[in-house]
Structure 1
């Protein structure tokens, strides 16, 4: 199983209530990614948002910078909102990162649970699903073929056009990210693409039927069994002491959930919800190393995924908190999990 970390570039709010500048957060992230690489973690992913709470609107810029300060870690989006992106440009950006990193780039695409990018880039939110389907079709064609002949609804046809530069080994790894809709699972399984589930609430065990559905569809279309990959993305933060970590982190986490939830009509996020999430059957992995090891192994046994991604900066923990969390994940949690799965 691969073990990695993802972030959205949440901006930290200090004790005086001042939000740190985006430029400062981006520089901190370079140090954090470099540490992940030094600790031998398998993957780093960065998300795309167009909101004031986040520093990152262009994941490919962060990943290109990270490619120059890392040596082994895979670098991917988490996710790229394909519905409001140009597939040609997106392929060019990630093939360039792939070349910079000697083949370590991955492209993780999704429809997007945040929709600010649609009006920002001139798309109609009513076309949410059809935009994704069409753009995924073009992206996969570009990934497989150098000379493109293609026709769709939302852009002019491509006639004998070539897309450069090509990826490191001419084929970029593309994942599908889903929030839990069967239609998205069906699409990924039919196409034979690796899939990653964002599990950010409720009980992760509820996703087991979707994992099984994906495997059945994947096998039905006779895709190579040895290439099947599934992953989970879950909110996480680690410290030396479970209660102390939760006590410090809860106000930060709840504040971010409430900022977003207020616009979506959610009820205020409570400490009870937080503790339910931290329990064995919850979707939060927040606490000390041994708790995290047991929970990740339990979830692996339940769901059978091949990649676990700890999403580590919800609410903007401080740079010091994140460095500590990354160290614990890399030095204690990851080695113990890999040893247990030998």
Structure 2
């Protein structure tokens, strides 16, 4: 990337400067990241190989797991490497690349969660029309639109980041590059750019969250007309979805919908939604989903038998 800034590299302060705590950070987040990759890849392989998981819900879950893996990978490897490094240096171009990938896969996760909610709405509220509305071609088009929306969002973020002039210092009080910590280092008035950031990321997070909550409220209201068995199955799925939405959107809204101020808790909040939530998603969707667990068992038995 071309840039005419006097600062050509940044130093990430990470989560802690204490050598002992850094080793603890490495061990803890190595477990989290390994669990994220293994858990999400297991879901991806299970959905890809299992004929019983061919419904639109699992089609979207496949892409959620893919987005989770990439989203966590955009920050976790750098956090792990820096935990073992004396000097946590990241070049300007690497920093901008991290901003782009972080928002690309973060936005993709948001849009896929919206699509999953839409799928559940149609399945529960319009069951007779479900096969027609959510046919495979429609699902593919929706995923393509989600990727396009994520890419446009990421381009908007990187354009804002490239506008920032950096004259020094180059210490980022964070474990990754994102617009909020970069705004603190810019040698210019960042009010307008922060307003654009809130308008972009903040509006996407807040509006998507409200849309999801409204859709879940409508779905829960419509379940009154279903049988006890149907309600139980639908509630099991919805509980998983609502849990994921709250865990992901709560920290996102906290980070991206406020004035250009920073709090000591910001880094831990960011860690939760960039590394914690992708780790929890596979557990939530497998432990609470009998179909996924059964499909995994069948594939495991077939693998052992072969």
State the TM-score bracket (shorter-chain normalisation). under 0.3
Structure with the larger strand share: 1
TM value normalised by structure 2: 0.26
Kindly indicate whether structure 1 or structure 2 has the higher relative contact order, using CA contacts under 8 Å at least 6 residues apart.
2
Q: Which has the larger radius of gyration?
A: 2
Structure with greater proportional helix content: 2
For normalisation by structure 1, the TM-score amounts to: 0.24
